[in-house]
Amino acid sequence: MWLNSVVSLLPLAILALALPSKDCEHQVKEAVVPPRGWTIFGPAPPDHIIKLRIALPQSNFRALEEQLYAISDPYHERYGAHLTKEEVEELVAPHPESVDSVTDWLSSHGIGEGDISRSPAGDWLTIKVPVSVVETMLDTKYHIWKHTASGEYIVRTTSYSLPKNLLEHVDLIQPTTMFGTFRKLKSTIHSVTAADSQIQSQHSPPIVDLATGVTVDASCNTTITITCLKEIYNAVNYTPSAHVGNSVGITGYLGEFANRADLQTFYADQVPAAAAANSTFNFISVAGGLDPQDPDDAGGEANLDVQFAFGLSFPVPSTFYSTAGSPPFIPDSGTPTDTNEPYTDWLDFILSHPNPPLAISTSYGDDEQTVPESFARRACAGFAQLGARGVSLTASSGDGGVGDGDPDPATQECLTNDGQNRTQFIPGFPASCPFITAVGGTVFFPERAVSFSGGGFSNYFARPAYQDEAVKGFLKALPKGTYSGLFNPNGRGIPDVAAQSDFFRVFIGGKPFSIGGTSASSPTFIGFVALLNDGRLKKGLPSLGFLNPLLYSKAVSGFNDITTGHNPGCGTEGFNATKGWDAVTGLGTPDFGKLLKLVT
């Protein structure tokens, strides 16, 4: 009798083992509290197409990280021995078992190999499927969510599940729980304003910084030009080459387009040699990014970035990347596809590229808390891969001081998005990624911290070893109990460095404007990184690659320490710029002459 019972149960057991993944018991993979500021507008249309990205665990990322730190440490024997694209991909490739398990799961939902786009390393899978299918796959329910402040809409869920047998084979899936408001980091405090057609001559004598001996034209306290930046940062007499294998790049998103005619006008105004050479940038479209050249389409952010990054580094070959898409979904427009943050499309593209620019700046980002930690970590891992290949990456630190960027103190609540509504300083992402060089802002000469300079400490990423000593010194000097509970003292400190960030003379639609924000600081700093790479390449040395271990060690003496100013926000005065590293201006601003000697 007992034997007959066992025999009769065997087919059921075999059937259970043979069931496709879609019939297995699901378990929650990730869940978030509905974030503050977002409300449900209605159910997501069943036929709405979602571009779903699935991250498989990277089999040997720890080894990649170890190698990245070795080749980025100026005192290590392997310094500068950057990895090839293929070596990086081998380290982040998923385990075959993960590939097979996820492929079988997709197949059980009718998604064949021809429907799957795989990254070169195979660690990201992308499929386009209707909401109705995604809801079944992830045992969830999508809604259209509306952002109260901006009026924008996105299609998201607050939790999703996976079959239990898949949990260890998937790191994350998006778009699901990401409610970011990816945005330009042009300051909302110092907005774009029209400028005089000619730079106003100053009858005042040049300004001398008694601490450094640097002399700067008096006009630089009201208008920042290429000449001003070269004077302030000790690069007046340096001449780079166009023929040593150097390169520099700028990323563009959210319908921001760089205008070539404006670049020529800018060059005529500030870089005569570039104007004479009719110099321009190489354009690359990412995911259908456009390149309109009508003056009405010229973007203030894009023009600021390319004019100053490429103006400083001329004649270094330059590239502007135009990445299509933005997160908001328009309920009544028939939008065909809902996407992630556009910078992940750019990251996919650039990692697949055999020869990315050696120095790249971005001036866009999110409040860190609006980006799920799992997603932030995977995007950050992508930045690490670029660093391992010899690419230097900079990002603006943000324009909200220690806050969330709201210029109105009455509404700048700085509340957490975890359902507890605690007051907390708001770090930015991707500036909080330890594999990126975050650039804060200064103003005037002699320099002081600009009030909107984003700074603080990550709640996702622990403080990396390269900045441990510097940040500990800053924290130790803080009066006991300062902002207790408002920031994570063990988090990655932001920013790493700083540069001028206000009164930039930019041409938009043929007319000059004055622009401020750390969106100016990052392309400025990357311009000087390109010049440093030029100096190294001329001597047969490799590119600088991931900068931070160098900046906090051998190169620390190559910075102008900023010791005045602060970055208010969240109803506080924020942090003070102080001697040494601080959470307003980082290590300070570059002295190109000193840095060149230190890195060559």
Of the candidates 146, 179, 212, which is a domain's last residue? 179
* Tokens at 264, concatenated: 């020529």
Per-residue pLDDT tens over the stretch 89-141: 999 999 999 999 999 999 999 999 999 999 999 999 999 999 999 999 999 99
Looking at the fold, whether 155 and 211 belong to one and the same domain comes out as: no
Q: What is the mean pLDDT of residues 556-581?
A: 96
**Domain final residue pick, 150, 179, 208:** 179
- Pairing mode, strands 437-443 and 497-500: parallel
pLDDT of residue 11: 39
pTM score, two decimals?
A: 0.92
Same domain? 172 vs 199: no
Asked if 496 and 586 touch (Cβ cutoff 8 Å), the reply is yes
At 461 the three-state DSSP class reads strand
| 534 belongs to an annotated ligand binding site | no
Residues 475 and 327 grouped into a single domain: yes
- Pairwise pLDDT comparison (329 vs 320), residue with the higher score: 320
The pLDDT, as a whole number, for residue 147 is 84
SS3 call for 500:
strand
Contact 144, 41 (CB under 8 A): yes
Of the two residues 196 and 454, the one the predictor is more confident about is 454
pLDDT in tens, 405-460: 655 544 556 888 877 888 999 999 999 999 999 999 999 999 999 999 999 999 99
Annotated binding residue at 582? yes
Q: How far apart are CA 267 and CA 312, in angstroms?
A: 10
**Domain of 32?**
20-58+93-179
Assess whether pLDDT exceeds 50 at residue 335.
Answer: no
Name the residue among 321, 289, 316, 317 with its Cα closest to residue 305: 321
Place of tokens 């390319």: 306
Do 385 and 353 share a domain, yes or no?
yes
Q: Is 5 exposed, middle or buried (0-12, 13-18, 19+ CB in 10 A)?
A: exposed
The residue among 57 and 367 whose pLDDT is bigger is: 57
**374 & 479 share domain:** yes
Average pLDDT over residues 17-40: 76
- Does the annotation flag 494 for ligand binding? no
Residues classed as catalytic: 301, 305, 519
Give the model's pLDDT for residue 190.
43
pLDDT at 72 over 80: yes
Are both 135 and 228 inside the same structural domain? no
- Considering all CA atoms of the chain, what is the largest pairwise distance in Å, rounded to the nearest integer? 108
Q: What does the pLDDT read at residue 360? A: 98
How is residue 187 written in tokens? Answer: 């300051």
Distance CA 19, CA 108 (A): 9
Q: Rounded to an integer, what distance in angstroms lies between the CA atom of residue 30 and that of residue 346?
A: 25
Q: What is the pLDDT of residue 333?
A: 45
| Range among 45-59, 185-199, 318-332, 527-541 with highest mean pLDDT value | 527-541
Question: In the block, which residue shows the tokens 């866009």?
Answer: 364
Please tell me whether 580 is known to bind a ligand.
Answer: yes
Instruction: Identify whether residues 135 and 282 lie together within a single domain.
Output: no
Judged by average pLDDT, the poorest of 178-182, 286-290, 296-300, 574-578 is 178-182
Number of domains in the chain: 2
- The stretch 55-61 carries a mean pLDDT of 96
Kindly report, residue by residue over 257-282, the tens digit of the pLDDT.
Answer: 999 999 999 999 999 999 999 999 99
Share of the chain above pLDDT 70, in %: 89
* pLDDT band (50, 70, 90) for residue 36: confident
The better pLDDT of the pair 408, 347 is held by: 347
Taking 50 as the threshold, does the pLDDT of residue 463 lie above it?
A: yes
Residues 358 and 493 in one domain: yes
Q: Is residue 35 part of a domain?
A: yes
